[in-house]
Chain A
Amino acid sequence: MKRHSLVEWSIAHPRAVLWLVLLVTAAFMTQLPRMRTDTNPKNMLPPTSDVRVWNDAVDQTFALYEDMIVVGISHPRSVLNPATLARVRDITAAILGIGGVAARDVTSFTTIDNVTAEDGGLRVAPLLTKIPQTQAELAALRKTLMDSPLFIDRIVSRDERTTAIYVPLERGANGKEVADAIRAVVAGQSGEERYYVAGDPVARDTFGAEMFKLMGIFSPIAGMIMLAAIYFMFRNPALAGAMMLVSMVAIVWTMGLGIGLGFPIHIMSSMAPVFLMAIATDSIHIFNEFYFRYHERRDKRAAILDTMAAVSRPVRYTALATAAGFAVLLFMSIVPVRVFGGLIVFGTLALRLFSFTLIPAILTFLREDKLGSASAREDERPDPTAAALARLGGWGANAPVATVLGGLVLVAVAGLGMTRIVVNNNMVEWFRADSEVRIADRTINQALGGTSLGYLVVATGQPEAVKQPRTLRYIEGLQRHVETLPVVGKTLSVVDYVKRINRVLHDDDPKFDAVPDSAGTVAQYLFLFAMSAKPSDLDNVVDYPFQTANVWVQLKTWDAAAMKDVIEAAQAYQGDHPQQADIKPAGIAYFNLVWNNEVLWDMLKGFILALAVVFAILVANFRSVKWALVGYIPLLFTILLIYGVVGFAGKDFDMPISVLSCLALGMAVDFSIHFISRLKQRLAETGTDAASDPAALKEALVWTAARPGKGILRNALLFAAAFSVMLFAPLTPYMAVGAFIVAMMLLAALFTLLYLPALIVLLRGWLFKPGEKP
């Protein structure tokens, strides 16, 4: 009874408890100003992870940039007119002056190298050194653009209505800041053109910025709604305040600990406050029971002790189950996932401690006269909510076969939906369809090769091998093969330069738009090209010893799955053309694929582990595998149904959804624990022999559905109400989280209150031994 004495001590010394909590909270609060944020999802994987080390090596070998912003400029008829071209020139010049931009490798009409045959000679120069004014000059430019695979779909669309400026960023530059600076530049332009700023760094850093704004706005709003809902339920402002106080203190402790330990706040741990607020609502069971007890006993101290005696076991085990659900994240490979799991575990344990100290202490401060009037309504018979819940529980208990079958049918349908689930992650689609980021991305992807960039690194293993015509033809074949994929908008390699030079040196004869037959010729072409073009042109596509080539693959979508298609196509090509060259993927699109998979599978692994751990806790709590199995069913059905809907709705199974699975588990299990624990208590209190007296069992089930069931419903509603705010968020993951949680809480409550009674009645012979008094 050590725990009980903790409660007794707390109600004997409520002031001491308050002061102690205040002191510890103040200590944690001192850590908050040291908060650092990290919005870069790249840091989900440590810099030492294979994919980051490899990508860094590729970036260095080919003098590439990690991040690139794409600025689309479109004109209703054609961008090939003097005014638009002059604007492109001016905008390019302005972009070169923006901090964080790798100015030397910005690609646009005025900076891209152009190799042309001119008056029997050869010209290597930026495409646009002066703005064409006459129709003849414009026609010449049009011909140059449309003739060259180096330009078409890259810096000009086939319908010539769109052009692009590619803006690589220096390492560590903030994509949103650069994008904002670019937007400021284009905002100053007059004319018919429309401007679009897109690319991974824009989406990523805009998302990061929005995320923190949202957490700043959303968390307080969710808190306010919960406060209002609690007040509405209990009509006691002190009590509502007390519950909020408990969750706020837990949030301060948790965030204080995380910051104090030196972890930056990243995407996942920024969700911790909302999760903790949700977990804190479990203490509503204490308040719920207290109000019933106080109504019965009219003695505050006795009511507190009775309440704690009744709910301490479920509260302890629900906290344990929630903590365990998140504790499995500690064993995952991704550091921010581990940090997130650890913080939530700590917060949950703190909340559990408060349940036995802070909450009883606060209850002693409640004024009895206010309590009397408030709890007077807490009587199950005249209360319409309790009556409805009793009917719900009675329905399940009285028609168990129909209920169980109905549930099974639903789950079977959900199973069908789950087969349609697509695992995917697309950061751009984390923005709403009408958002600037997404419109920009869509527009540029429709007109040009694509805003997402991946690489296929073709390693021959032998110096000078890339100059061999055989190798070049192999690379060319790879390009053509990969280009057959609908997601691939454009590819670029050293072959394109070689073919271009071959043609230009032969007076622009299209017959020579091919790889020449000797390695010496190729070497001299590349030498000639390197003599005049920007060094990066060649460096970007072939390494220094001419041993490894780099094929640029522009993708029309940020779907992680798109790069998967590319990799599979490349492997198939390699299989069909066995040669001494190894093809390996790289680039930001590849990183997104790896990151997406790692996080996703980590979360999924964690979820499955959590399922096992939660089951073990249920077994420990009920001291029975049978009861644990029964208690597991509402939880399992809820999750299956939601995933079924995810499958049917065509919603990608992405990172936010996978994170939620753990929360779903941690929360839904609470309902089962509360329901079954309280049912068994009731059966013991009333001395019911459940196996042989079905009527008494049904009565106990109805009572459980009505009374602790009201706590469950309150918990679910509170949760759902708070998270419904997220449905109005501008970022789709938050909308998904909102919808998911609202659905989950209501479904879990429904399954617990309706399905559990049905199952227990049906399985009573199996669950209860005859004559056994639980």
Chain B
Amino acid sequence: MKPVLRSVVLLLVLAVRAPVHAADPSGAEIVKRSLDAFYYAGSDMRARVTMKLINPQGQVRSRDMTMLRLNTGTSGDQRYYIYFHAPADVKGTAFLVWKYPAKEDDRWIYVPALKLVKRIAADDKRSSFVGSDFTYEDVSGRDLEDETHTLLRSEDLAGRPVYVVESKPKAAEYARRISWIDRERWLPLKEEYQDARGATMRVFTADKVEQADKHWTVTARTMKNLQSGHRTEVVFQEIAYDMGLRPDVFTERYLRDAPAQWVR
């Protein structure tokens, strides 16, 4: 290629892959807005969630659950209540998480066979969420300060304008995370988790984004583990926001006895 021609091509490429402008928000600002949109939308939320765990042979384990979320206070504290409808032999198992951004979560589980509530000590937010390819962090969000964020570029992803942000954790099982964040809706549309060798370990994709009660919501998502070949598909249905959930739903009493108003 002639030098002149090469410069022209280079310019074209640069024009399409819009460089970072001074007017763009910083990486940290983008991630902050994304965390808010993805994990904190509304004051509370309810959804019927089906989760499919698919192994490399294509065999499937399904979980069917109701998820309730309540944002408490302004410091980022949240409460999650998860009730399992299926598989049939675990029906009635319920799970409660009190999430604190700055310290380890509190978790409790109700085991119906023993009629027993047990506190689960958790000191690893990066462990698998109910056997899926999502970690607890993936489900309930990470802290902005856990990583340092750099805006790499802006581009289009499947017809949506996105910011591409690189996040490097201070300590995690991944060395680098690249996020494609919707410039208008602020939802992450794709994330790649890379190891220290630069190989992609896991890929998150938002397969379907819909508006539910005025909040843009990722209603279908996939996390694929490229190393094990395992993947998890999650679909949200019956989504409702700002229903006025009371904090007492998120207590041991309702763990034993599901709140019929919300769990159907």
Contacts and interface: CB of A to CB of B under 8 A. Distances in A.
B55 A539 contact: yes
A640 B127 CA distance: 63
B197 interface: yes
Contact of A524 (B57, B113, B129): B113
Interface of B is mostly: loop
A103 B195 contact: yes
Interface in A517-573: 518-521, 523-525, 527-528, 530-536, 538-539, 543-545
A544 B130 contact: no
B88 to A, nearest CB: 9
Given A121-B118, A125-B121, 18 more contacts: A102-B227, A103-B195, A120-B118, A120-B119, A122-B118, A122-B120, A123-B120, A124-B120, A125-B122, A505-B111, A520-B89, A521-B113, A523-B87, A527-B84, A527-B87, A532-B120, A535-B128, A544-B59
B20 interface: no
Contacts of B93: 524, 527-528
A13 interface: no
A41 B95 CA distance: 50
Contacts of A104: 227-228
B159 interface: no
A538 B128 CA distance: 12
B57 A530 contact: no
Contacts of B124: 125-126, 129
Interface string A86-130: 000000000001010011100000000000001111111110010
Interface in A118-155: 118-126, 129
A532 B122 contact: yes
20 contacts: A60-B57, A104-B228, A120-B119, A121-B118, A122-B120, A123-B120, A125-B123, A125-B124, A464-B89, A505-B116, A521-B113, A524-B89, A524-B90, A524-B112, A524-B114, A530-B130, A532-B128, A535-B131, A543-B59, A544-B55
B87 to A, nearest CB: 7
A727 interface: no
B59 A545 contact: yes
A200 B121 CA distance: 38
Contacts of B59: 543-545
A43 interface: no
A527 B230 CA distance: 18
Interface of A: 60-61, 63, 97, 99, 102-104, 118-126, 129, 464, 467, 505, 516, 518-521, 523-525, 527-528, 530-536, 538-539, 543-545
A502 to B, nearest CB: 9
B255 interface: no
A14 B74 CA distance: 101
Contacts, number: 104
A123 B113 contact: no
B118 to A, nearest CB: 5
Contacts of A530: 130-131
Interface in B169-185: none
Interface string B124-165: 100111110100000000000000000000000000000000
A505 B114 contact: yes
Contacts of B196: 97
Contacts of B118: 120-122, 505
Interface string B72-103: 00000000000010010110010100000000
B33 interface: no
A500 to B, nearest CB: 14
B228 A122 contact: no
B90 A523 contact: yes
B109 A528 contact: yes
A63 B225 CA distance: 13
User: B interface, how many residues as a size bin?
Assistant: 35 or more
Given A119-B119, A527-B90, A539-B55, A532 B127 contact: yes
A525 B128 CA distance: 16
List 5 A-B pairs, minimum CB-CB distance, nearest first.
Answer: A121-B119, A523-B89, A530-B131, A544-B59, A123-B121
Nearest to A524: B113
B60 interface: yes
Nearest to A99: B197
A544 B90 contact: no
Given A63-B55, A99-B197, A519-B89, A535 B121 contact: no
B217 to A, nearest CB: 24
A544 B61 contact: yes
A122 B109 contact: yes
Nearest to B92: A524
Nearest to A506: B114
A446 B205 CA distance: 49
A535 to B, nearest CB: 5
Nearest to A519: B89
A524 B111 contact: yes
Interface string B44-75: 00000000000111011100000000000000
Contacts of A61: 57
A104 B109 CA distance: 26
Given A467-B89, A520-B113, A524-B89, A538 B123 contact: no
A119 B129 CA distance: 23
A532 B124 CA distance: 9
Interface in B22-36: none
A129 to B, nearest CB: 6
A432 B48 CA distance: 64
Nearest to A543: B59
A505 B114 CA distance: 9
Which residue among A102, A518, A531 has the maximum number of chain B CB atoms within 10 Å of its CB?
A531
A104 B197 CA distance: 14
Contact of A121 (B55, B61, B121): B121
B128 A534 contact: yes
Contacts of B61: 544
Contacts of A543: 59
Nearest to A502: B114
A533 B127 CA distance: 7
Contacts of B89: 464, 467, 519-520, 523-524
A355 B59 CA distance: 65
Contacts of A464: 89
Contacts of B228: 63, 104, 535-536
A519 B88 CA distance: 12
A315 B47 CA distance: 88
B137 to A, nearest CB: 14
Contacts of A533: 127-128
A525 B113 CA distance: 9
Contacts of A545: 59
Which residue among B57, B93, B113, B129 has the maximum number of chain A CB atoms within 10 Å of its CB?
B113
A539 to B, nearest CB: 7
Nearest to B129: A531
A527 B123 CA distance: 19
Contacts of B128: 532-535
Which residue among B93, B118, B122, B124 has the maximum number of chain A CB atoms within 10 Å of its CB?
B118
Contacts of A534: 127-128
A210 to B, nearest CB: 29
A109 to B, nearest CB: 15
Contacts of B111: 505, 524-525, 528
B60 A544 contact: yes
Given A63-B55, A99-B197, A122-B109, A538 B131 contact: yes
B119 A122 contact: yes
Contact of A60 (B56, B113, B129, B133): B56
Contacts of B122: 123-125, 532
Contacts of B119: 119-122
